[in-house]
Structure 1
Amino acid sequence: MDFFDSHKVDIAELAAVVNMDPDTLLDEQGNMPQIAYLKLVEWAADRFQMPHLGLWMAENHDTSQFGVIGFLYTCSSNFGEFCKLLQRYQRIIMTGSEFQFIDDDDLIEARFTTSIDDVELTSHAAEFAMGVMIDTIQTFTKNLWHPVKTCFAHSVIEPENDYANLFGSNLFFNQAHNSFWFERSLFELTLNSATPELLPVMTAQANRLLADIEERHDFLGYVRLQLRAQLTNEAFDMEALAKQLNMTSRTLHRQLNQLGFNFNSLRIDLIMEMAKEALLKSDAKVTDIAQELGYSESSAFVRVFKRNEGMSPLQFRKSHAA
């Protein structure tokens, strides 16, 4: 939010971009749903003509903006300890994302992943997250350190020279993962300002935040379960779901909105998920699939499918045929 504040973009405008209520765009910790964050960063990069917005944010970040994760960084006795903590608590910074640190002989692969499959949509987030990690290593090493190798899942963003300051020159694009490699010996680097005596306090706080995130994910999982069970029941609407969850429909709408969802979008997502599975794993007719998913008219099902997938159910089946 610091970037948007500095560019005089208020919460109402941001909420309008992602079609959310301004009151629910941010949760109690000041975080927003992952998909909303990614869309807003992409929008900002275009609006402010900053093609490398992720890199810019990484080079201008302040450790304090990461809250408890920033404190864990200053409490860690060495870089290896910080990496372990980051691997566990990255989701607090951005829900649905994580860092993994993978042994690769004398090197360590730092791999950044998100739950969003659209690699171009996640490009700024990947460049930001990995850029912050490299800036962190440079802080530990006290010099202009660069990774041994860096891979991006997305296509190169011009100008390509903008990558040099953080990532050096050994870059590869359109790869399987967003990753960079560093020497295993860096794990032993210490930070002079480290305060390890505060680590238990900060870890306890991080555990509480993580538990809150996981609880909200459990809530969404339970909502999906109820929707799946009642998918063919036309009478099962928002009111019925709210009653099942022992809350008002207004409360249910607010909680789903905070997670970046609504009743209709979740229902359609489940319909599409089940429809695609049936099309790929069975020879069932489209009319039969439509009926099983609660559509009395197959034409209505076909319209919904085409609107979401850009092709008819039969075209989808043919395009995935072996």
Structure 2
Amino acid sequence: MLCMPDNNLQATKSGIPVNWLFKSLMDKGIDLQEIRESLQLNEAEINPSTRILPTLTYNRIFEWAAARTQDPDLGIHIAEKVEPNQFGMLGYLASNAPTVGDLCDIVERYQRVFTPDFSHTFTSTEGVCQCLYEEALLANIDSRQDTDFSFGILITTIRLAAGESWCPLRCDFTYPKPEKLDNLQRLFGSDLHFEQPANKIYFSDEVLSLTMPSGDANLLAILMQQANQLLDQLSSKDLIRHVKFLITTGIGDDSSSAENIAKHLNMSVRTLNRQLKERNINFRELRNGVVINVAKDALINTDSSITDIALMLGYSETSAFDRFFKRLTGQTPLQYRKSAL
């Protein structure tokens, strides 16, 4: 399986995107004010513009929410309902994987980039694939909800190829055995082991060759090309390349805003804008350039509909994407696609 070194990546981005968590809690009637008051967080730490949380804060909220909703299986229930597009570029990469094996490669390679405090590592031995899930900052801390959610997302995605009843051969969890196991057994199977040294799931490596029903190999190649070009430049001290990389990883969601990218770079928005100005460019120009490049590649090299491309890039309405594209290129997306044929 593919594996990327962590040293440069962790210095660029930390914490975890939490749009999906906030949306799920709001659907259950829990708003940001209740979270702040219950966990004694201030408005600077959590507010409507918050898209990334420090790992420990994220875990506190997730565990508190399970108690607040009286749902010890909250992580499982959210994993079964969340949509891939709530995870930005990583979600689109994963949802366009041609096979389960490709899915595993993508998760291992790119999760270390987008959420460096967490990782999935896949290994195969004697016909069995093993997935190790690690939470770098949560050792000896109750993190059951995150573990259940992360494995739950992987399993529900594999089920798209393997069938709704598919379960791993075995699952190991570091947390103690819960009182009720029905939801765990429904998703993770019957061979469950608790208070283990590490969080792992095991499944037949025959599953790796199964075809993912929503996979678009052409679109995946474009997305990976964009991500890989910028990933290779991460060790560079070039601010513009760093910003382009972060825009690409957050494409399609709000995490690519100037506010969130400045936070990733441990600077204020004003400082980010000043440093970009010193390099004769501004944030909007950088972001527009990244989005247009991805859009052009998708229009020329895939059969994806313009609506799907617009959604991938964060536009809920095709008309808004059309206006954006025409403003920057002088052509509508359809005109550009036809002219390139």
TM above 0.5: yes
Alpha-carbon displacement from aligned partner over 1:269-290 (angstroms, at most 9, x marks no partner):
xxxxxxxxxxxxxxxxxxxxxx
**Counterpart pick for 2:150 among 129, 132, 135:** 129
- Aligned equivalent of 2:202, options 181, 192, 212: 181
Distance 1:52 1:205, change over 3 A: farther
- Residue 98 of structure 2 is matched in structure 1 by 77
Q: Which is greater in Rg? A: 1
The answer to whether residue 108 in structure 2 is matched with residue 98 in structure 1 is no
Count of paired positions: 223
Report deviation, 1:20.
4.0
Deviations 1:28-62 (A, max 9, x none): 88221111110001111111101111111122222
Q: In structure 2, how many angstroms separate the alpha carbons of the residues matched to 1:122 and 1:96? A: 13
TM-score of the aligned structures, taking structure 1 as reference length: 0.61
2:111/2:119 contact within 8 Å kept: yes
CA separation of 1:64 and 1:200: change in aligned 2, threshold 3 A: same
Further displaced range: 167-176 or 55-64: 55-64
Letter in 1 for 2:184: Y
More moved, 84-93 vs 126-135: 84-93
Partner of 2:25: 4
Per-residue CA shift, 1:5-45, capped at 9, x if unaligned?
21233334334445444344379882211111100011111
Q: Percent identity?
A: 27
Residue aligning to 2:67: 46
Equivalent positions of 1:26-45 (< 5 A) are 30-45=51-66
Contact persistence 2:56–2:138 (CA under 8 A): no
Partner of residue 171 from structure 1, selected from 174, 189, 192: 192
1:178 shift after superposition? 0.5
Structure 1 residues 194, 58: CA separation in 2 closer, same or farther (over 3 Å shift)?
same
**Closer, same or farther in 2 for the Cα pair 1:180/1:189, shift >3 Å?**
same
How far apart in 2 are the matches of 1:118 and 1:62? 28
* CA contact 2:32–2:47 (8 Å) conserved in 1: no
Say whether the 8 Å CA contact 1:97–1:112 is kept in structure 2.
yes
- Once residues 136 and 106 of structure 1 are traced to their aligned partners in structure 2, the CA distance between those partners, rounded to angstroms, is 21
Corresponding residue of 2:309: none
Tell me if structure 2 keeps the 8 A contact 1:119–1:154. Answer: no
The farther-off stretch of 87-96 and 146-155 is 87-96
Higher deviation after alignment, 135-144 or 87-96? 87-96
Deviates more, 1:171-180 or 1:56-65: 56-65
Seen in structure 2, the aligned counterparts of structure 1 residues 157 and 75 have a Cα distance that, compared at 3 Å, is same
- Separation (CA, whole Å) in 1 of partners of 2:36 and 2:231: 25
1:199 matched residue in structure 2? 220
What stretches of structure 2 of length at least 5 have no aligned partner?
1-21, 237-265, 272-341
**Conserved 8 A contact 1:152-1:178:** yes
Q: Which amino acid aligns with 2:78?
A: M
When residues 113 and 188 of structure 1 are mapped into structure 2, their CA distance, relative to the original with a 3 A threshold, is same
Paired with 2:100 and 2:66, the residues of 1 have a C-alpha distance of 31
8 Å CA contact 1:120–1:155 kept in 2: the answer is no
Of 148, 159, 162, which residue of structure 2 is paired with 1:138?
A: 159
Query: For the residues of structure 1 that align with 2:39 and 2:163, how far apart are their CA atoms?
Result: 40
RMSD: 3.4
Contact 1:153 1:178 in 2 (8 A): yes
User: Equivalent of 1:58, from 79, 85, 95?
Assistant: 79
Q: Which letter maps to 1:179? A: K
Distance 1:32 1:184 in 2: 35
Mapped to 2, the partners of 1:61 and 1:167 lie a distance apart of: 17
Per-residue deviation, 1:107: 0.5
Q: Structure 1 unaligned runs (5+)?
A: 216-245, 252-322
Cα offset, 1:65, TM superposition:
1.8
Q: CA deviation at 1:168?
A: 1.0
- Within 2, Cα distance between the matches of 1:207 and 1:27? 31
> What is residue 307 of structure 1 aligned with on the other side?
none
Q: Kindly tell me: are residues 16 and 109 of structure 1, through their superposed partners in 2, closer, same or farther at Cα, counting changes over 3 Å?
A: same
Residue 121 of structure 1 aligns to a residue whose secondary structure is coil
Distance (Å, rounded) in 1 between the aligned partners of 2:152 and 2:159: 10
1:154 is matched with which residue: 175, 199, 216?
Answer: 175
| CA deviation after TM superposition for structure 1 residue 138, in Å | 1.0
Is the 8 Å Cα contact of residues 169 and 201 (structure 2) preserved in structure 1?
yes
**AA partner of residue 108 (structure 1):** C
Cα distance change on mapping 1:247 and 1:92 into 2, 3 Å: closer
Moved over 6 A (4+): 26-29, 208-215
Structure-1 residue corresponding to 2:248: none
